[in-house]
Amino acid sequence: MSHHHYIISRRTFAVGVIGAAAAGPRALAQAVTATSEMGPFYPAGYRGETDADLTRVAGAAKRAEGQVIEVVGRVLDKMGNPIRGAQLDIWQANTHGRYDHPQDPAIMPLDPGFQGFARITTGGDGSWKLATIKPGSYDSPIGNRPPHIHMDAIGPNTRAMLQMYFPEDAAANARDSLYKTLGADAPTSVASALGDHRYSWDIVLLEG
């Protein structure tokens, strides 16, 4: 079951309906990114660093364990216009598949060099950039979860709970129960590989 967490204000919705009626029906220019469940490990109460480099924590003896990756992207409205000032709250498991969260029952180790959470605000061109490590897969009550990065994307009028998947894990993604619930929209949640451990992922919100 897919939960849609976006919020549309009443005023914006009314304007949108009037605009659509005036212009007549038209196809969306961009496929809106598929939303998913928030999951049990939303970092409520987090008190640590929130910068865009998850691989370094002030005072930690070492950089985060695992494969360092970079993810770049933009936040767009459904017509393809960049959304400036969108907020991305980002959280993920460490390289061992463990969340730094009191509810995570995993016995896999924590990594004191891994930040676990970031808060990014998009620039004027809607762009964002994250330095992190590739998250580990982990077992859960709904089956093995392939590597994924959670994002809570907040635009001017909408909020979307997202999970970003990795293109090299296509087989594991196809077996994942949450990925499967996305149906035909699932490809919108998969990043593109840029090579050299870099990825890109554009987020399209139900705006515009």
Q: Measured between alpha carbons, how far is 99 from 96 in angstroms, rounded to an integer?
A: 9
Residue 127 or residue 168: which is nearer to Fe ion going by CB? 168
Tell the smallest beta-carbon distance from residue 168 to Fe ion (Å): 18
Residue 128 or residue 165: which is nearer to Fe ion going by CB? 165
Residue 84 or residue 119: which is nearer to Fe ion going by CB? 119
Residue 39 or residue 123: which is nearer to Fe ion going by CB? 39
Contact present, 169 and 146 (Cβ < 8 Å): yes
Tell the smallest beta-carbon distance from residue 98 to Fe ion (Å): 11
Report the half-sphere exposure of 185 (CA within 13 A, side-chain side). 17
**Site residue total, Fe ion (CB under 5 A):** 1
Residue 87: strand, helix, or coil: strand
Tell the smallest beta-carbon distance from residue 58 to Fe ion (Å): 25
Tell the smallest beta-carbon distance from residue 19 to Fe ion (Å): 37
CA distances from 196 to 29, 68, 94, 142, 172 (A): 30, 10, 20, 32, 22
Residue 125 or residue 139: which is nearer to Fe ion going by CB? 139
Tell the smallest beta-carbon distance from residue 103 to Fe ion (Å): 12
Q: Measured between alpha carbons, how far is 140 from 201 in angstroms, rounded to an integer?
A: 25
Q: Which residues pair with 129 in a beta bridge?
A: 72
Q: Measured between alpha carbons, how far is 30 from 19 in angstroms, rounded to an integer?
A: 18
Tell the smallest beta-carbon distance from residue 202 to Fe ion (Å): 21
Residues 32-61 that bind Fe ion (CB under 5 A): 39
Report the half-sphere exposure of 112 (CA within 13 A, side-chain side). 5
Residue 76 or residue 153: which is nearer to Fe ion going by CB? 153
Contact present, 73 and 205 (Cβ < 8 Å): no
Q: Residue with CB nearest Fe ion?
A: 39
Binding site for Fe ion (CB under 5 A): 39
